[in-house]
Chain A
Amino acid sequence: MDITKLSHVSDWEWQVEPKGDMRVPAVIYGDAALVGEMDEKVLEQIVNVTCLPGIVGAAHVMPDAHWGYGFPIGGVAAFDPEEGGIVSAGGVGFDISCGVRTLVTGLRRGNIEPLKRELADSLFTNIPAGLGSRGKIALDAREMDAMLIGGARWALAEGYGVADDLERIEEHGKMEGAQPDAVSEHAKTRQRAEMGTLGSGNHYLEVQEVTEILDDSVAAIFGLTRGDVVVSIHCGSRGLGHQIGTEFLREMVIEAPAQGIRLPDLELACAPIASELGQRYLGAMRAGINCALANRQIITHLTRRVFGHYFPEARLDLLFDVSHNTCKEEWHEVEGKRRRLFVHRKGATRAFGLGHPDLPAAFAAIGQPVFIGGSMGTTSSIMVGAASKPERAFASACHGAGRRMSRHQALKHWHGREVIDELAHRGIIIRSPSSRGVAEEAPGAYKDTVAVVEAAHVAGLARKVATLAPVVCVKG
């Protein structure tokens, strides 16, 4: 991205002033190097977002942003239903409520080191991953609807998890307002064999070591010390979410002219929040969120069983579960006024700061945990909501490293076997059904998480708490 086109607000914040059809400014977070490395398409896409009806405040770009669909990945925007605001299926994306949860095992690196190969094999065997894998749980029509309404709460009632998990999940494990009737039979059919599956692409289950503590007091509340072992699970709403996204994108593209909406990019397909289509999408999308929460809950259960086999003393307490492809109804202060807004976070994490009323009691005094996922060989980070006043980007932070190279380019640079061998040399065990998939996801294809995390920290989006290094990574 050509930073000479941007206004310099600070060394970590850049702005595009409204002009033409832009209704609000665009704000981009990151230092000159990170912003300069972003694709020019990111700028084009966020400017398109600022042109959508009912947008409030500004459209925001996280430091890990890259070229997405309609919205950039790492894009945040909020819309006011009282001002003709829209909800965008493109602004949420195909993988509704894709997210990360982290489990604190109570184990130390030294405990798992002698058994990490067996652990990797067992996780790979027991947690279905990749195209063509099947979950062991088949839901009939009634159970499917119950899952779409109940999310992780449904999963818990079915025996997947422990009661303490629920408070450690956004929305306390159940997204209200889900409408299974708004989800097509196609979407439900696509999900039938996919409950408790990891998916593919950048999704993973990773066993990680806490290698660095950057905020002692917050880390203590999170239950983290250096040398601890945690497990992070990155996946989403599987086929159900993909199908909801596919179908509503199409319907919104076709309906947009009748709704008086001019789409600068078809992928920004949207409908007024206060329309039948907008409400139906919200009902289906919330069902998709519950599917993702249930899916991560089931995978958590499977992970606990595997760990329990090797380490009966391990607990695997849920630290927190965040979603990063969502549209959520939230209250935010904009220009001195509290407003009910529909906040789209596409490849961005909610990052409520301390004292936010929706925080679980355990985090009320410190803020919401935020997880920044790495890529097999690179570090991940745990952060906490920054509580900046006024809040930044509708209380949002980045979600991962972000790609710096396309899959196509990555295949030209690496072979899967070489990546696996090189990581093994560094003590990192990779298990994946596809060598080519590993090459496409090579650590070098991603940006440096350290720079992204530093940018989020300095820009006041979230604060650094701990760094995690991979030990075992199961890729889909």
Chain B
Amino acid sequence: MAKPDAGAVTRGAAVEPRADYFPHGADVGIRGIGPTRESAFEQAAMALSGIVTDIAGIEQKASVTVECQAPTDALLLVDWLNALIYRMAVDRMLFSRFTVRINDHRLQGEAWGEAIDRRRHAPAVEPKGATYTALKVERGAGGEWTAQCVIDV
């Protein structure tokens, strides 16, 4: 699958936000990397969209807001991704841009996208849920934040 937002990781604030993937036996591992925790969460959401379709083909015509709260960063990531999966299923939308604000384990997010066009988007899979497998939200020695988990599809 195409990387939605490729770029080199450099140290500290110069970290280029990017979405990436890692293998899982049955499903797909997604990973967001960025200079801040919020950026890593946004990129993880980009990676989530990228397992469904090429995100370059998702127009930003409408937005939805998402709020969640969890006791840890890791659980907050799962909640954020599951909230997006829920919106994808119920609103029948795909998203290609995200903003995240996190304050004291309370997340406010916005996702921009459009209604699923089955012919144009040709969705490859339907995400069932974000899992706790390979779940990690952490800041690396180089200052970059990583937010990752496996998505059950």
Q: Is the Cβ of A408 less than 8 Å from the Cβ of B23?
A: yes
Instruction: Return chain B residues, CB-CB under 8 Å to A458.
Output: none
Q: Does B66 contact A (CB under 8 A)?
A: no
Instruction: Return chain B residues, CB-CB under 8 Å to A73.
Output: 25-26
Q: Is the Cβ of B132 less than 8 Å from the Cβ of A433?
A: no
Q: Is the Cβ of A434 less than 8 Å from the Cβ of B86?
A: no
Q: Which of the listed residues A73, A132, A436, A437 has the most CB atoms from chain B within 10 Å of its own CB?
A: A132
Instruction: Return chain B residues, CB-CB under 8 Å to A245.
Output: 128-129
Q: Does A8 contact B (CB under 8 A)?
A: no
Name which residue of chain B comes closest to A440, CB basis.
B124
Q: How many residues of B contact A (CB 8 A)?
A: 41
Q: Does A262 contact B (CB under 8 A)?
A: no
The distance in angstroms between the C-alpha atoms of A94 and B133, with both chains bound, is: 13
Instruction: Return chain B residues, CB-CB under 8 Å to A433.
Output: 118, 122-123
Q: Is the Cβ of B123 less than 8 Å from the Cβ of A267?
A: no
The answer to whether residues A436 and B26 also contact, given A408-B1, A411-B1 and a CB cut-off of 8 A, is no
Q: Is the Cβ of B86 less than 8 Å from the Cβ of A67?
A: no
Interface residues in A198-217 (C-beta closer than 8 Å to B): 199-201
The distance in angstroms between the C-alpha atoms of A440 and B21, with both chains bound, is: 14
The answer to whether residues A131 and B52 also contact, given A189-B90, A201-B153 and a CB cut-off of 8 A, is yes
The distance in angstroms between the C-alpha atoms of A115 and B28, with both chains bound, is: 37
The answer to whether residues A250 and B78 also contact, given A200-B126, A476-B126 and a CB cut-off of 8 A, is yes
The answer to whether residues A249 and B132 also contact, given A41-B25, A69-B152, A190-B90 and a CB cut-off of 8 A, is yes
Instruction: Return chain A residues, CB-CB under 8 Å to B133.
Output: 69-70, 265, 267
> What are 17 A-B pairs with beta-carbon distances under 8 A?
A68-B26, A70-B133, A90-B132, A94-B128, A94-B129, A131-B123, A132-B92, A190-B86, A242-B85, A246-B129, A249-B129, A254-B71, A254-B75, A407-B125, A408-B28, A436-B122, A437-B124
Q: A133-B118, A242-B128 are in contact. List 15 more A-B contacts (CB 8 A).
A: A67-B26, A94-B129, A131-B52, A131-B88, A131-B125, A131-B126, A200-B124, A253-B75, A407-B153, A409-B23, A433-B123, A434-B122, A436-B1, A436-B122, A436-B124
